């Protein structure tokens, strides 16, 4: 397929407001892609590339741009092959060679294609919001029901894998991890009740998400990002092995308890996780049967039949705001982070924050994306210090800046971020180093105020860093709507 075709469809999709019209444009393009191209087409249309990292900065890309646009003869395969080559280059002399390859690629592209490539490689095209539409487009192109494609995507981890394979090969199976279901933020229990109706309220434990797969005495544990972390969590393995289930997939959180049986804060948890114990709050699969499509109330009942109460977070089911608030207060008093509220009828939406799970926290915290950082002065000379923070803007696929912070950083964190941010640098302007919007950072703040300076009209007060969330992608960051709701606007 000609790269030009993809670039033009991408442009038309961006210029079309109707969902159905976008789906049609994308489906028509997907139909034209050959079996070995479809993965690349879906990736580029979503603003990503198949290679995890090509390791070229903004300046290199700027230099690679050619002044004379070529005629449209570049194939998408050419683009992918060049990026593959570049991503494999490392070591001495690789920077020059990368530059040479990129310049060659750009010189074979039209002006419009160059512009697309540039934005693709700087991460500017990245559009999480497009995922739902892509699912429907692929379903339409293949003449399949959209919900089956969606389910396969949850199990496969991403849509490109589904596009390459056969739908029936994506079934839930022990030792094949699936993306965990995610939560949205609710300001308080009342908001959660208004969204869900009667709900299950559970202690929100502050540890790390675990997905435990078990077959007889064999146990594997996967992280939120689907890495196998079995070796790091021996106590979780031991506790899971003795559960009376032949084959099961359980969803939960591993936490560390102090001698007084109080939860240890996350930062310290990271150090002592080997002794972390599991708490299970969901069951996704049992003895040959998928439970993903069962309502949460049924899954919770099955879970309770197989996992002792001492290994489940405390929970109540209620429609009463006062009762929910009392339970929230009890959770905070017990040293927990807050509550999770879950819709009783909801199915398990792997990999999605579909709106059936809400977190209600005590502290004002947001997961924001680092957009840039400023060089520090004085003691912080030579360090990237003041972070520019943005919330996700699903409507436009970008990020809205909400403020800056240089607070809450240890020396270790400063060193780490100085190095890491320069790796994803796009360009500089004075003391500001702009970066690709890839890192998610959890920020505490004391409130929000109206601001004429920032594009969203809102600014964080007394923002400070809690920790980087390397388990989250920019698509998982909080949205500007959530922030507006917190502000009551
Ligand atoms: P957050 O990471 O702040 O978006 O909050 C969601 C996370 O809370 C989940 O990914 C789990 O790791 C964690 N969590 C703790 N307790 C629960 C619970 N009872 N139900 C679901 N998730 C929980």
Structure-model confidence comparison of residues 331 and 126, the more confident one: 331
Residues 205 and 302 in one domain: yes
pLDDT for res 245: 94
| pLDDT: which is higher, 129 or 404 | 404
CB-ligand 1 contact for 178 (6 Å cutoff): no
pLDDT category at 151 given cuts 50, 70, 90 is confident
Does residue 439 lie in a domain region? yes
Final residue belonging to a domain, choices 359, 385, 418 = 359
Range of the domain at 458: 365-487
Name the average pLDDT for the chain. 91
Q: Decide: 281 in ligand 1 pocket, CB within 6 A.
A: yes
Q: Is 282 in the pocket of ligand 1 (CB under 6 A)?
A: no
The percent of residues in the chain predicted with pLDDT above 90, rounded, is 65
- Is 204 marked active-site? yes
Question: When comparing pLDDT for 197 and 257, which is higher?
Answer: 197
Compute, in angstroms, the gap from residue 458 CA to the centroid of ligand 1: 27
pLDDT at position 136, please?
A: 94
For ligand 1, the distance from its centroid to the CA atom of residue 126, given in whole angstroms, is 26
User: Does an H or E element contain 478, and which?
Assistant: none
Predicted confidence (pLDDT) per residue in 262-314, tens digit = 887 655 555 567 778 999 999 999 999 999 999 999 999 999 999 999 999 99
Specify the pLDDT at position 72: 86
What is the token pair recorded at 374? 């400023």
Q: Where are the alpha helices (H) located in 33-122, listed in sequence order?
A: 38-45, 58-64, 76-88, 94-107, 111-122
- pLDDT band per the 50, 70, 90 thresholds, residue 377: very high
pLDDT of residue 397: 80
- Same domain? 284 vs 419: no
105 vs 120: CA distance, rounded Å: 14
For residue 69, give both structure tokens.
Answer: 């646009």
331 lines ligand 1 (CB under 6 A): no
Evaluate whether residue 479 is within a structural domain.
Answer: yes
- Ligand 1, from 181, 183, 281, 339: best to mutate by most atoms within 8 Å of Cβ? 183
Q: Is the full-model pTM beyond 0.75? A: no
pLDDT by residue (tens digit) across 315-371? 999 999 999 999 999 998 898 989 999 999 999 988 777 789 999 987 788 999 999
Same domain for 213 and 319, yes or no, is: yes
Please give the average per-residue pLDDT across 397-404, as a whole number. 93
* Ligand 1 site, residue 183, Cβ cutoff 6 A: yes
How far apart are alpha carbons 209 and 139 in whole angstroms?
31
Cα–ligand 1 centroid distance for 413 (angstroms): 24
Q: Which residue has the tokens 């009342």?
A: 190
On whether residue 131 sits in a domain, the answer given is yes
Among candidate residues 125, 144, 168, the one where a domain is terminated:
168
pLDDT at 265: 66
Same domain (yes/no): 160, 251: no
| Centre of ligand 1 from the C-alpha of residue 164, in Å | 32
389 part of a folded domain: yes
Segment of 113-127, 345-359, 425-439 carrying the highest mean pLDDT: 425-439
pLDDT at 268: 59
**In this predicted model, what pLDDT tens digit does every residue of 246-271 receive, in sequence order?**
999 999 999 988 877 788 765 555 55
Higher pLDDT, residue 243 or 148? 243
| Domain co-membership, 235 together with 355 | yes
Report the pLDDT value the prediction gives residue 269, as an integer from 0 to 100: 55
Closest residue CA from atom 11 of ligand 1 = 209
| Residue 204 in contact with ligand 1 by CB distance below 6 A | yes
Dist CA 422 CA 218 (whole Å): 43
Confidence (pLDDT) at 129? 61
Top mutation candidate among 181, 201, 205 for ligand 1, by most atoms within 8 Å of CB? 205
| 192-218: average pLDDT | 95
The percent helix, strand, coil of the chain (3-state, each to 5) is 40, 25, 35
Domain boundary (110, 136, 168) is at 168
pLDDT of residue 489: 64
| pLDDT of the residue at 271 | 58
Give a yes or no: residue 178 inside a domain.
no
Q: What is the pLDDT of residue 267?
A: 55
Residue 49 alpha carbon to ligand 1 centre in Å: 30
The Cα 423–Cα 370 span in angstroms is: 13
Q: Residue 451's CB: how many other CB atoms inside 10 A?
A: 16
In sequence order, what are the residues at sequence separation of 6 or more whose Cβ sits closer than 8 angstroms to the Cβ of residue 42?
30, 134, 138, 159, 160, 163
190 and 245 together in one domain: yes
**Contacts with 348 (C-beta within 8 Å, 6 or more apart), sequence order:** 181, 282, 284, 291, 292, 293, 296, 299
Q: What is the CATH number of the domain that holds 390?
A: 2.40.50.140
Check if 167 has its Cβ closer than 6 Å to any atom of ligand 1.
no
CATH label of the domain that carries residue 128 = 1.10.3260.10
In this prediction, residue 272 carries a pLDDT of 66
**In this structure, is residue 174 part of a structural domain?**
no
Q: Mutate which of 179, 201, 204 to test ligand 1's pocket (most atoms within 8 Å of Cβ)? A: 204
Ligand 1 mean position, distance from CA 209 (Å): 7
Rounded Cα–Cα distance for residues 403 and 177 (Å): 37
* CA dist., res. 7 & res. 4, Å (int): 5
DSSP string, 222-246: E-TT--B-GGG-HHHHHHHHTSS-S
Nearest to 473 by CA among 100, 123, 144: 123
| Token pair belonging to 231 | 């070796």
* Catalytic residue of the set 140, 179, 204, 359: 204
Number of domains forming the structure of the chain: 3
- Kindly give the interhelix angle for 321-333 and 189-196, rounded to the nearest 10 degrees: 130
Q: How far does residue 421's CA lie from ligand 1's centre (Å)?
A: 27
Quick one: which atom of ligand 1 is closest to the CA of 204? 16
Does 24 share its domain with 147?
A: yes
Which pLDDT belongs to residue 128? 60
pLDDT score of 70 more than 60: yes
The dihedrals phi and psi of 130, each to the nearest 5 degrees, come to: -80, -15
Q: Considering Cα of 88, then 90, then 92, then 97, what sign does the dihedral take? A: positive
Residue 103 lies in a domain: yes
Residue 47 has pLDDT above 90, yes or no: no
> 48 falls in which pLDDT band (50, 70, 90)?
confident
Q: Identify the pLDDT of residue 274.
A: 74
Residues 323 and 472 in one domain: no
479 DSSP assignment = B
Backbone angles phi, psi at 273, to 5 degrees: -65, -25
Q: Does a structural domain hold residue 173? A: no
pLDDT of residue 65: 86
Phi-psi region of 36 (alpha: psi -120 to 50; beta: other; left: phi over 0): alpha
Same domain, 158 and 194: no
Give yes or no: residues 203 and 346 share one domain. Answer: yes
User: Based on the domain organization, do 331 and 380 belong to the same domain?
Assistant: no
């Amino acid at each position: 397929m000609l790269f030009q075709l993809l670039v033009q469809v991408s442009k038309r999709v961006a210029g079309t407001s109707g969902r159905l019209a976008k789906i049609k444009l994308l489906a028509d393009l997907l139909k034209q892609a050959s079996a070995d191209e479809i993965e690349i087409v879906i990736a580029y249309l979503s603003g990503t590339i198949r290679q995890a990292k090509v390791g070229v900065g903004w300046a290199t890309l700027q230099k690679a741009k050619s002044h004379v646009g070529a005629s449209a003869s570049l194939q998408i395969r050419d683009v992918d092959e060049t990026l593959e080559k570049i991503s494999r280059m490392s070591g001495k002399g690789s920077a020059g060679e990368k530059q040479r390859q990129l310049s060659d690629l750009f010189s074979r592209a039209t002006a419009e294609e160059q512009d697309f490539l540039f934005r693709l490689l700087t991460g500017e095209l990245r559009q999480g919001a497009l995922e739902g539409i892509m699912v429907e487009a692929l379903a339409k192109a293949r003449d399949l029901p959209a919900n089956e494609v969606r389910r396969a995507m949850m199990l496969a981890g991403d849509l490109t894998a589904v596009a390459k394979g056969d739908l029936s090969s994506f079934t839930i199976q022990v030792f094949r991890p699936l993306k965990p279901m995610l939560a949205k933020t609710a300001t308080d229990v009342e908001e959660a009740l208004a969204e869900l109706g009667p709900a299950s309220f559970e202690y929100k434990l502050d540890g790390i998400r675990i997905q435990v797969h078990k077959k007889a005495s064999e146990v594997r544990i996967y992280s939120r990002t689907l890495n196998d972390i079995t070796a790091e969590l021996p106590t979780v393995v031991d506790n899971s092995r003795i559960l009376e289930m032949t084959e099961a997939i359980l969803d939960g959180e591993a936490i560390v308890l102090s001698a007084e049986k109080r939860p240890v804060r996350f930062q310290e948890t990271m150090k002592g996780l080997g002794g972390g114990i599991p708490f299970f709050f969901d069951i996704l699969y049992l003895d040959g049967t998928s439970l993903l499509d069962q309502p949460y109330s049924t899954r919770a009942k099955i879970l309770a039949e197989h996992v002792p109460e001492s290994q489940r977070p405390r929970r109540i089911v209620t429609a009463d705001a006062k009762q929910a608030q009392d339970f929230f207060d009890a959770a905070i008093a017990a040293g927990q982070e807050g509550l999770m509220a879950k819709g009783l009828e909801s199915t398990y939406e792997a990999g999605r924050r579909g709106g059936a799970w809400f977190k209600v926290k005590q502290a004002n915290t947001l997961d924001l994306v680092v957009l840039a950082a400023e060089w520090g002065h004085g003691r912080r000379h030579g360090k990237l210090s003041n972070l520019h923070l943005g919330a996700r803007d699903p409507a436009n696929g970008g990020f809205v800046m909400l403020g800056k912070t240089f607070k809450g950083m240890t020396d270790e964190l400063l060193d780490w971020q100085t190095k890491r941010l320069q790796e994803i640098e796009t360009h500089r302007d004075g003391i500001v180093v702009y970066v690709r919007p890839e890192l998610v950072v959890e920020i505490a703040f004391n409130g929000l105020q109206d601001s004429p300076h920032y594009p969203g009209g809102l600014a964080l007060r007394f923002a400070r860093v809690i920790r980087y969330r390397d388990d989250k992608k920019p698509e998982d960051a909080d949205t500007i709507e959530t922030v507006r709701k917190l502000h009551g606007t």
